[in-house]
Structure 1
Amino acid sequence: MTAAEENLLGALIIEPKATLRTIEGLVSADDFTDARHGAVFSGLIAAVAKNMPIDVVAVDSHFHEWGASSLNPADVWLWTDAQRMVPHRAFQYAQVVRAESVRRQLRDVISQTAERVKNGEPALDVASSAVSALTSLVDGASSGTLQTKTLGEVLSGVDTYDWVIPGLLERQDRLVVTGGEGAGKTMWMRQLAILSASGIHPVTFGRIEPVEVLVVDAENTERQWRRATRWIAQNAAREGARDPADVVHLTAGKRIDITKGSHLAEIHRLIDHHKPDVLFIGPLYKLVSKAINSDDDAAPLIVALDSLRERNVALVMEAHAGHSIGSSGYRDLRPRGSSALLGWPEFGLGLRQVPDMDGVVDVVRWRGDRDQRDWPNQMYRGQDWPWEAWQQ
């Protein structure tokens, strides 16, 4: 058994739900060097899905049921050894387990193919078998994460909103905000973050339950944040339930590529540590290493962002608008790049300067809302706050 396999099982035992959200679909029981350890892995996944209690004692008591009775129960303590295993690195452990599995299987395919060629089997048959084996290897085994419910089970659920910001955002919502250069979208994003964190509704300015906020700003520096938000934070501390300077957690000025496992794992780690209700992240073009021009460019970004959303947080993202002029004669406020970004979020809002009305913007929906929300239709640059609603 490899160290990565031991660490992955240990992470599942110590932090089962958080680990499963991180590694779902990345690795399967067949990727383990020993089938007994793969059986334990499958048993743990099933136990998490059923909300069964998981700890060291519970795990070794299930060895027989999971088809791993010949394992030593003392091994479970080794897997959870805190001296060398860190649960929030489960994503890296899973990547290593999968990579080692691919190498083993690739060696087997090469060896078997070479042996069949040596034995004089028809070349096309050998080639076809090799292609089939390599395709299965690339696709990986089924993760078993797709489970069905009856319609009755679905309808028996509750319809209540799980609000993060009442009337605006609930958990797992995805909001993308766009606008032209200097339109004020970045400042509005900061207003949403700082006011909600202090317990102030960022549109109505009424009192709300304070929101836990994490900001990953891949474009603006800490110095820019200081200069732009000091007055907002001071006002919010005075008017709100708590000082946002103490509770908004921010990383700024570092360009990242969340399609890389190591970078994405860092953000997962921050989410696990700070446990935010809402993650402000962007701008989108700064989250990848190349332009998002096609659906193929956008797909890895969307997958990575959805893995963050699945941590039960609302996602608020900034994107730059395209430069084309629409049929209305106004600049198109849809996100620049791939059309895949248009249908992905629940809400797509753009800020457009109103002609001949300095400091007033229309809040334009560049995609239809998936649910009813109380986003303003117009805003103006205020005195107490950067943006105030002109009309609801």
Structure 2
Amino acid sequence: MIGVDEQREAELREAADAVLGTLLHTEAKDLAPDLISALTPEQFPEPRQGELWDLLSSMWAAARPCDPITVTRELRERGDLERLAGPAGAAWLHQLHDAVPTVAHSLAYAEVLREEAQWKALALAGARTMTAVQRREGSALAAAEASVEAFRSVRDQQHVRQDDLPVDLVDFLEEADDEPDWVIPGVLARWDRLMITAGEGGGKSLMLRQILMRAAAGLHPWKKARIAPVRVLHIDAENAADQARPWLRRMAKAAADEGAPIDRDRFMLRMIPEGLDVTQASDRAWLARMVEHARPDLISIGSLYKLTTNGESDEKAARPIMAALEMMRTVSGGAAMLLEAHAPHATMGKRDLRPIGSSLWLRWPEYGFGLAPAKGEGAEELRLMDWVPWRGPRSERVWPEQFCQGATWPWQAIQYRGNAPIPGPTLTVEEAEAAGLIPDQSFWDDQQIGT
């Protein structure tokens, strides 16, 4: 009786022969691109089969004839005929060709090989974990993190795809643009990163919480519009619970008053005022658990300087923080991310709104804005703030020009400078309020975004 292992090996050999034989058929031209994209050389049971697969794939990609005769000639010229085709040489290639009853089933055979390769990768990841356990190398948490990453890489394994030929510009421009996978329509799509900076007490924490709370409630951050509610995870590594709770309670009530109460399991948060050290395996593992539990569409974390305890802010210190943040996005499956960072102190009366630390932060997020006090008579009474971009946007989004202090929510957006005139010699604050020129509780209502 044939054992289970022997039967599996026989099935794998048949599947490998079938996909190799398929590429030796000229009628496989319609299937070849998908078949080549489905497998890598490493996923074959034997190295020689993987090498032959690489050759056949290259010949198809180069639009060269690929049949037993042309492949035999190519292998003979390379001096690899017997090494890859075995003692039978050309005869074996003809056998592969003739043993394929129909090329239509080739993708199913490829799936057999791919599935087995993933099982082997899973077994290897488990074996490495057990080796680390037995040898007690490093810390247990570091070994656990490495194990989780190894298993995750098996789960998310990407397959090599055949390079496409260049596309003509005329055809390219005729293609419709893909609609972003919105988290907040017009503002943030999945995988987007927005970093908000300001000086100490500049209101960035309140801005960040307002975006989170309104998104979780199904409200646009600064428009009088409904959106589909999103799941939110808020990691506050700077403020204590007693500092944040009054504002969060006030915002939750404001959302409920607008007919959009925040449902349970919609907004998850942890306050860690002592900060984190994401250069350590234990804190990275903790973050991964938080993300896996919350399953968020939108993540906020910060401030940046509280994500490590070494006190350094150079490029060497920035890279492990970026790696930890990327890990969070990957574990979440592409949640949009809000980041909070401090801006340097003003020099010569002017404040640089770029984030403190490595210049890498200037390029890392897709969108970077700072809150800066606006100039002009009456600006202080309104707490008027300019919304200043310090990083060129990668895609078009709809942002306000200014914010001022709101009555119900912390910040009221102003669509463009001059939308709410600053009181001056010809217009007092009282006159502006009476004329309805100073925004209070209202939000933009120029666009209604449906759920």
TM tier, shorter chain?
0.5 to 0.7
**CA distance in structure 2 between the partners assigned to 1:189 and 1:205 by the alignment:** 18
| Contact 1:292/1:338, CA 8 A, preserved across alignment | no
- Is it true that 1:343 corresponds to 2:343 in the alignment? no
Q: Deviations over 1:42-78 (max 9, x none)?
A: xxxxxxxxxxxxxxxxxxx879954999xxxxx99x9
Partner in structure 2 of residue 261 of structure 1: 281
Partner in structure 2 of residue 84 of structure 1: none
- Is it true that 1:171 corresponds to 2:195 in the alignment? no
- Is it true that 1:332 corresponds to 2:352 in the alignment? yes
Q: Deviations over 1:274-299 (max 9, x none)?
A: 11101010101101122343111111
**CA distance in structure 2 between the partners assigned to 1:275 and 1:160 by the alignment:** 23
Partner in structure 2 of residue 279 of structure 1: 299
| Contact 1:198/1:240, CA 8 A, preserved across alignment | no
Partner in structure 1 of residue 308 of structure 2: 288
**CA distance in structure 1 between the partners assigned to 2:299 and 2:386 by the alignment:** 25
**CA distance in structure 2 between the partners assigned to 1:300 and 1:262 by the alignment:** 14
Q: 1:159 to 1:144 in 2, by over 3 A?
A: closer
Measured after TM superposition, the shift of residue 149 of structure 1 is 4.4
1:356-371 correspondence runs (5 A): 356=377, 357-358=379-380, 359-371=383-395
- Is it true that 1:234 corresponds to 2:258 in the alignment? no
Identity of aligned residues (%): 38
Q: Deviations over 1:129-152 (max 9, x none)?
A: xxxxxxxxxxxxxx9888674366
Q: Which amino acid aligns with 2:224?
A: F
Match of 1:321 among 308, 331, 343: 343
SS at 1:319 equivalent: strand
Q: Which amino acid aligns with 1:372?
A: E
Measured after TM superposition, the shift of residue 371 of structure 1 is 0.9
Measured after TM superposition, the shift of residue 162 of structure 1 is 0.6
| Contact 2:303/2:342, CA 8 A, preserved across alignment | yes
Partner in structure 2 of residue 134 of structure 1: none
| Contact 1:199/1:210, CA 8 A, preserved across alignment | yes
Measured after TM superposition, the shift of residue 240 of structure 1 is 4.2
Measured after TM superposition, the shift of residue 271 of structure 1 is 1.5
**CA distance in structure 2 between the partners assigned to 1:220 and 1:346 by the alignment:** 26
Q: Which amino acid aligns with 2:182?
A: W
SS at 1:342 equivalent: helix
Where structure 2 has 5 or more consecutive residues not aligned to the other structure, the ranges are 1-41, 47-111, 128-139, 151-156, 417-451
TM-score, with structure 2 as normaliser: 0.54
Measured after TM superposition, the shift of residue 238 of structure 1 is 2.4
SS at 1:385 equivalent: coil
Q: 1:264 to 1:202 in 2, by over 3 A?
A: same
Give the greater-gyration-radius structure (CA).
2
Aligned-residue Cα RMSD (Å) equals 3.8
| Contact 1:350/1:364, CA 8 A, preserved across alignment | yes
**CA distance in structure 1 between the partners assigned to 2:118 and 2:334 by the alignment:** 33
**CA distance in structure 1 between the partners assigned to 2:116 and 2:313 by the alignment:** 50
| Contact 2:216/2:229, CA 8 A, preserved across alignment | yes
Q: Which amino acid aligns with 1:164?
A: V
Measured after TM superposition, the shift of residue 321 of structure 1 is 0.3
- Is it true that 1:193 corresponds to 2:193 in the alignment? no
Match of 1:297 among 301, 317, 320: 317
**Highest RCO, 1 vs 2 (Cα 8 Å, sep ≥ 6):** 1
| Contact 2:141/2:281, CA 8 A, preserved across alignment | no
**CA distance in structure 1 between the partners assigned to 2:255 and 2:235 by the alignment:** 21
| Contact 2:145/2:285, CA 8 A, preserved across alignment | no
| Contact 1:199/1:240, CA 8 A, preserved across alignment | no
Q: Which moved more, 1:260-269 or 1:375-384?
A: 260-269
Q: 1:195 to 1:92 in 2, by over 3 A?
A: farther
| Contact 1:178/1:185, CA 8 A, preserved across alignment | yes
Measured after TM superposition, the shift of residue 350 of structure 1 is 0.2
**CA distance in structure 2 between the partners assigned to 1:160 and 1:350 by the alignment:** 28
Measured after TM superposition, the shift of residue 309 of structure 1 is 2.0
| Contact 1:219/1:283, CA 8 A, preserved across alignment | yes
Measured after TM superposition, the shift of residue 203 of structure 1 is 1.1
1:23-34 correspondence runs (5 A): none
Where structure 1 has 5 or more consecutive residues not aligned to the other structure, the ranges are 1-29, 37-60, 70-74, 80-88, 100-142
Partner in structure 2 of residue 384 of structure 1: 408
Q: 1:67 to 1:178 in 2, by over 3 A?
A: closer
TM-score, with structure 1 as normaliser: 0.62
Q: Which amino acid aligns with 2:214?
A: L
Measured after TM superposition, the shift of residue 239 of structure 1 is 1.3
**CA distance in structure 2 between the partners assigned to 1:67 and 1:202 by the alignment:** 43
**CA distance in structure 1 between the partners assigned to 2:216 and 2:244 by the alignment:** 16
- Is it true that 1:309 corresponds to 2:326 in the alignment? no
Measured after TM superposition, the shift of residue 245 of structure 1 is 6.5
Aligned length: 277
SS at 2:286 equivalent: helix
Q: Which moved more, 1:336-345 or 1:265-274?
A: 265-274
Measured after TM superposition, the shift of residue 273 of structure 1 is 1.6
| Contact 1:284/1:317, CA 8 A, preserved across alignment | yes
Q: Deviations over 1:328-354 (max 9, x none)?
A: x52000001111111111000000011
SS at 1:388 equivalent: strand
**CA distance in structure 1 between the partners assigned to 2:118 and 2:195 by the alignment:** 47
Q: Which amino acid aligns with 2:144?
A: Y
Partner in structure 2 of residue 93 of structure 1: 144
Q: 1:207 to 1:301 in 2, by over 3 A?
A: same
**CA distance in structure 1 between the partners assigned to 2:285 and 2:259 by the alignment:** 33
Q: Which amino acid aligns with 2:360?
A: A
SS at 1:349 equivalent: strand
